[in-house]
Structure 1
Amino acid sequence: MPALLPQPGLLPQRALLLPLLLLLLLLPVLIVCCICNQTSFVALLTPEVDQHLTTLGLIHVVQLGHMPVDHTLVQGLALFWRPETHTFHFPHVGEMTVSLEDVAFLYGLPVVTGRVVTGRCDFDYIDLLSTALPRDTSQEEVENCFREKERTKKHCVKFTKLRKIWKDVVLDDEDQIERYTRAFVLELFGCTLFPDATGDSIAGFYLDLLRDLRTTPSQGVYNWGAATLAALYRGLDTAAINNSAKIGAPWLLLQLWSYARLTLCRPTITDDFSDWGVPSIDSCAPYGRRWTTRHRSKKYEGPGIASGMDYARDVLMKIRPEHVVWTILE
């Protein structure tokens, strides 16, 4: 599945440059990329929790580890995004976009088959959140997990409160393990797959998708990959249309896509990742792990060049076909 739509050279250069120049004349899109650190939950992972994550189709994305979002790069890429086509318009290359193939390789999420990530939002959220908290949690503690101003709206759950409740809790039986797994996955959604604009909370209705942790793949794993890609498109559309300053979206996916597909604005890898995909893709960590391992970050400063987002924009303007990695797997 190619990353370009269409192939370079099929669109007239003049047709590309006009909307691009008009776009760059506007005020820059200043995006505050919201992402949190999930190390407190990862430290408590057990083989039993890993098994539940495997059943849910989420085990590979957990293996990415933690990586800070490069705000400069994300803001620079957002300048080239066109919501009409859901593609980036680069002057010397044409249109490029993040595809389902990229999500599968970079995050290791299911993208082809699975149930649609959708459902209701009219729940008793106290009861729903209780399924992701220790058994002996009081109703007052459950209520305190919600963001105070939004208890009657999206019922967003704060990660800091969630971590505090689970601190020092012993996972001594299957019921407690399942409860902890729901809390872990809820934070995974809010940190990596479906971040909101706050960066420290997640809508509670996602817990409805985690009621049955013993669902086998034959019964239908959710298509997390397609939902994550849709969340990224929505975030980029919002940035392009509304010029919003604080947007929730899986920006880490966009950053990893840029590192994997574009040879400019990428860090220098210090760890060997040449054996990725051997013997099969399913047997190894997702390709995005290549960029979350140790590396030397790109510096957006230096003599005679602009800094920050201006530098990222200027570099992206110079991208040509030889700077594009067309196929991750040869």
Structure 2
Amino acid sequence: MALPLHDGFNIIDFQQMGSLINNNNHISSTINEMGQYRVLRGRVNSVGFLLDERLIPYLELAEFGSTAMIQTFNLRYDFISTLVERWRPETNTFHSPCGECAITLEDVALQLGLPIDGNVVTGVSLISRPATLCYELLGRSPSEGKFTSFRFSWLKANFEHLPSTANEWEVMQAARAYIMHLIGGVLMSDANDSMVHLLYLPLLSNLHNTRLYSWGFAVLAMLYRELCRMTDPSAMDIGGYLILLQSWVLYRMPF
């Protein structure tokens, strides 16, 4: 039976919860059949070049300042693999002997300083004139033809060393490039672990308006999607913001 709460929601007891869980093709149900324990591999979780202090005011304007200051630390993929075994896609929660828990938007806001209210982070998958957009917002383009992504190597080669004579507009262009690398390489890494999709760039055209998007919600949604995907025993490469996942567990479940 369900236990009523004052706000009108219900907690489903474990007996009832069992009927909601499908164990077919979940990593937790196939561990004993696997010849070797599966340790996941992580995708990029760092920006490949140093942050120029001249970019900081523009990163703060866009609400990416706190995230850019987070130091990368060693990720324990054996630990993360164990967490995935307790993740249930049916409920989007970790199941443990003492109950259920999950990362929330409050955790994202506290740890990353990203906005969790506002417009949905979305965009078109194909931009009609990508080179024109890049020249307008970055001052250069990786190609004159059609393309949908930036390589991290291209961002590093073109924006790692900002000239001492750079004017305000050039510093702002470099800040956009840094945020693009931060999005694709750290916050929302996916199957393209060497690239970031172009669809995020239009959201950075006006950095003052960039803060009006719910970037924290997008980061959490991507991490949830990756956790669900990794419950497949055949999956090996996990994306999403794994630093958030590991630090959340160490903070919320220190035991």
For the aligned pair, the TM-score class normalised by the smaller chain equals: 0.7 to 0.9
Percent of aligned pairs sharing the same letter: 26
Give the Cα–Cα distance (whole angstroms) in 2 for the partners of residues 119 and 19 of structure 1: 33
Q: Which runs of 5+ in 1 are unaligned?
A: 265-330
Give the Cα–Cα distance (whole angstroms) in 1 for the partners of residues 160 and 60 of structure 2: 24
Question: Are the structure 2 counterparts of residues 95 and 29 from structure 1 closer, same or farther at C-alpha, using a change threshold of 3 Å?
Answer: farther
Q: Does 1:188 align with 2:179?
A: no
2:150 to 146, 157, 161: 157
Give the Cα–Cα distance (whole angstroms) in 2 for the partners of residues 215 and 233 of structure 1: 26
Kept after mapping to 2: 8 A contact 1:38/1:191: yes
The number of residue pairs the alignment matches comes to 238
| 1:203-243 deviation digits (Å, cap 9, x = unpaired) | 111101101123386xxx21111111100111011111474
Question: Are the structure 2 counterparts of residues 131 and 248 from structure 1 closer, same or farther at C-alpha, using a change threshold of 3 Å?
Answer: farther
Q: Deviation at 1:69? A: 2.3
Q: Does 1:209 align with 2:203?
A: yes
Moved more, 244-253 or 95-104: 244-253
Query: What is the aligned partner in structure 2 of residue 115 from structure 1?
Result: 119
1:257 to 240, 245, 248: 248
Q: Deviation at 1:51? A: 2.0
Give the Cα–Cα distance (whole angstroms) in 2 for the partners of residues 196 and 190 of structure 1: 8
Give the Cα–Cα distance (whole angstroms) in 2 for the partners of residues 25 and 215 of structure 1: 46
Kept after mapping to 2: 8 A contact 1:194/1:231: yes
Q: Which runs of 5+ in 2 are unaligned?
A: 1-8, 32-36
Kept after mapping to 2: 8 A contact 1:190/1:196: yes
| 1:141-194 deviation digits (Å, cap 9, x = unpaired) | x229x9xxxx65xx2211112111224331621110111011000011012211
Aligned-residue Cα RMSD (Å) equals 3.0
Question: Are the structure 2 counterparts of residues 75 and 164 from structure 1 closer, same or farther at C-alpha, using a change threshold of 3 Å?
Answer: same
- Paired AA for residue 45 in structure 1: E
Q: Deviation at 1:30? A: 4.4
Q: Does 1:70 align with 2:70?
A: no
- Paired AA for residue 100 in structure 1: L
Kept after mapping to 2: 8 A contact 1:34/1:199: yes
Kept after mapping to 1: 8 A contact 2:39/2:77: no
Give the Cα–Cα distance (whole angstroms) in 2 for the partners of residues 82 and 186 of structure 1: 31
Question: Are the structure 2 counterparts of residues 204 and 224 from structure 1 closer, same or farther at C-alpha, using a change threshold of 3 Å?
Answer: same
Q: Does 1:45 align with 2:53?
A: yes
Give the Cα–Cα distance (whole angstroms) in 2 for the partners of residues 85 and 14 of structure 1: 9
TM-score, length basis structure 1: 0.64
Q: Does 1:234 align with 2:225?
A: yes
Give the Cα–Cα distance (whole angstroms) in 2 for the partners of residues 107 and 168 of structure 1: 26
| 1:102-131 deviation digits (Å, cap 9, x = unpaired) | 1111112111x2211112233122223334
Give the Cα–Cα distance (whole angstroms) in 2 for the partners of residues 32 and 121 of structure 1: 27
| 1:24-67 deviation digits (Å, cap 9, x = unpaired) | 3314654321124326241x131xx2222222111111121222
- Paired AA for residue 99 in structure 2: G
SS of match in other structure, 2:100: strand
Question: Are the structure 2 counterparts of residues 114 and 32 from structure 1 closer, same or farther at C-alpha, using a change threshold of 3 Å?
Answer: same
2:172 to 172, 178, 200: 178
TM-score, length basis structure 2: 0.81
Question: Are the structure 2 counterparts of residues 261 and 243 from structure 1 closer, same or farther at C-alpha, using a change threshold of 3 Å?
Answer: farther
Q: Deviation at 1:14? A: 9.3
Runs of 4+ in 1 over 4 A off after TM superposition: 18-23, 27-30
